[in-house]
Structure 1
């Protein structure tokens, strides 16, 4: 179905496509939020909002940073799915403003009224979900509704997170449902784009084995993960959760192995996607070990949070930003180093938490690596997001 929006756009380049404002905002926020978290954790900075320090940290990474990336991806991918013109100009500016208002609200800039904070913060994901549904319905692209359903559950997880805090305790179900939903989105979208991009790249380089196309095994992997993550959300401890998570970890490790990731070593942008997905089975396995009471819960949460979610979102932002601004799909040394820093942040947080390296503990080292990763993106990609596209763009999703 044709769009009734004009086909020409004369406003700022930053508001010409959904990925531009939201990828830039998410990267800026990611680079600033973790140093702020260290200052909060060490008592040098205080928040006036309704969340305690740990809940603020988890919420702003899981529902602050990540929600902006999800919005950028959706409002760039949906026009490719539906053939309709993308959201541009004022609607994007208003949506970005709502996201910014949510970040200030959660930090306490508008007071500590928990209901006001909930409305401002959850209002962003509600608007994103509604706009995505309208676009997919108008374009009659029903098959991609399967992507919007997890986004709606993601919104629900955010609301539950707020309600749990309102009741006077730390968030528990809300944070786990948020992690579970975003992890499942990575499995769903990653399972679509990683083998597709890999197949296209390998096919141009002559004969050879290609990634196994989506089939029943992929469906089994998704179903097993959905069951394991749902069970973990509701009952995170005990043998049943451990066994389900361990099974999901094994299946997704096998799934990743079918995508020919090692053959992409000459294309860092592709290799990043495979490496980021590799943190999914690692995180699931560590979460299974935590459910069995073999290790602490933070290991799995950070492998999923920093490695899988942070890694996949950063890798997708790099590739999509370059492709959609008409730049060559080449990482170069800066972006390659940036992703390496992101992977190092995940490993440092899990393996070196109690270490002392040059006066830095594992927490500070992980924070430094994380910040450097997004600083690399901002330095290399930021100017491209604010300028018109250079040439023909490449589709995403």
Structure 2
């Protein structure tokens, strides 16, 4: 009899199938809930005084959980769905997908509590799913004789190495190495975002311009397709080689300019101001502006490095992830590409949370209600909770399993 309550807690077969049909159906909601809850708990409940962090810095745990946790979870869902779609191969689904999600989730529980004594266990859990992604992309590239996946392979490799380096550096109290690993993680994700936008923006723009899909009026400028991603890789190499601040600064300025150049992809008329397209080019604008601020700070201008980093990662990368979650969540459940009011509110709250996070960096005398991080953390969390409210019923509904439009 004691087994029955536990059995009732398990998802029904239809729900389990809907959740695990493809990676994004399972991982996008989990990543969104993680982004909503972990920062909020740290700031509002524990006031950044993490329960079990003694020698490690709360800021390093925060960076790890946002970059490897929230955004890494979205990456896991995206690549396990997109790679088989691009190569016309069978998707990862069912038990293997639940296993990957379990590895990711176990590492997140350790990260929530900042369990220093379990750093090696967290390292193993995270590396397991990241290295699976790398091996999966390599296998698809090799068996299908595809070279267009090499960019993703290079950035996932950098992501895996930086994630491992951050765990080890935190355990050994190598604070400078931890900071370098965090930067490489962020640049790797920005590079992956650039590659993803190169593939996503064109069909999405054409779908917005002509919902009948009979014409393809938009053609991208070939020079900007992979420019931002390529320059992001140069920044990673410069960081790994510990080159001077000036060299890294100028490379960041170049990468930021390439991101800003992508804003021109939104110049398609009034449709470019829609939430569906506007969020894509605004993501590039925030990433580019943040990289410019970071680069100018490194070459000696009195600009806040941390403000630029949050503009690029919390703003550019965060908004980019939310856009991908929103667009794919509609197209992979057979819905029209029109964001709901809830999804639009989520985007607005995310942008507002970013502005409130960076304003004190540029104006140190500015005093915000609920402290420096209270309001921005609450708005950031609310944005992803609203996304979850709008999309989990779609992604986990058995009725939408066979209605994909991609």
Q: Same fold (TM over 0.5)?
A: yes
User: Quick check: 1:73 aligned with 2:83?
Assistant: no
Count, aligned residues: 386
Provide, for residues 117-174 of structure 1, a one-character-per-residue CA deviation record: whole Å limited to 9, x for no partner: 3212222211222233334444444422332221121111101111222322221221
On the 8 A contact 2:353/2:379 being kept in 1, the answer is yes
2:318 matches 1:318:
no
1:270 offset after TM fit, Å? 2.1
Once the two structures are superposed, what CA deviation does each residue of 1:177-216 show, in whole Å capped at 9, x if it has no partner?
101111111112112211332134325599x995552523
Q: Say whether residues 1:331 and 2:339 are aligned partners.
A: yes
Task: Pick from 175, 182, 193 the counterpart of residue 200 of structure 2.
Answer: 193
1:172 is paired with a residue of what secondary structure?
A: helix
What is aligned with 1:103?
Answer: 108
2:54 and 2:135 map into 1 onto residues whose CA distance is: 27
- Partners in 2 of 1:250 and 1:266 — Cα distance? 21
What SS is found at the alignment partner of 1:112? helix
Distance 1:365-1:177 versus aligned 2 partners, 3 A rule: same
Q: How does 1:53-202 map to 2 (within 5 A)?
A: 53-107=58-112, 112-170=117-175, 171-202=178-209
Q: What is the distance in 2 between the residues matched to 1:108 and 1:44?
A: 10
CA separation of 1:139 and 1:243: change in aligned 2, threshold 3 A: closer
1:239-271 Cα offsets, whole Å, 9 max, x none, are 333323223322332232144265324642222
Q: Give, in whole Å, the separation in 1 of the partners of 2:355 and 2:114.
A: 34
> Contact 2:275 / 2:339 at 8 angstroms: preserved in 1?
yes
SS at match of 2:30: helix
Matches of 2:399 and 2:109, distance apart in 1: 31
The 2-side partners of 1:48 and 1:228 are apart by: 31
Deviation for aligned residue 1:217: 4.6
Worse overlay, 50-59 or 311-320:
50-59
**How big is the shift at 1:320?**
0.5
2:316 maps to which residue? 308
Partner of 2:385: 375
The question of 1:393 aligning with 2:404 is answered yes
Matched, 1:356 2:367: yes
Q: TM-score, structure 2 length as denominator?
A: 0.86
Local SS of the residue matching 1:308: helix
**Which residue number corresponds to residue 352 of structure 2?**
344
Give the whole-Å Cα distance in 2 for the aligned partners of 1:326 and 1:220.
Answer: 32
1:329 is paired with a residue of what secondary structure? coil
Say if 1:233 and 1:256 are closer, same or farther in 2 by CA, change over 3 A: farther
Q: After alignment, is 223-232 or 180-189 more displaced?
A: 223-232
- In structure 1, how many angstroms separate the alpha carbons of the residues matched to 2:114 and 2:42? 16
RMSD (Å), alpha carbons: 2.9
Change (3 A) 1:100 1:288: same
Whether contact under 8 Å (1:323, 1:393) holds in the other structure is: yes
8 Å contact from structure 2 (residues 354, 376) kept in 1? yes
Is the CA contact 2:141–2:147 (under 8 Å) kept in the aligned structure 1? yes
What are structure 2's unaligned runs of at least 5 residues? 1-12
Matches within 5 A, 1:143-292: 143-170=148-175, 171-203=178-210, 211-232=218-239, 234-235=241-242, 238-260=245-267, 263-265=270-272, 267-292=274-299
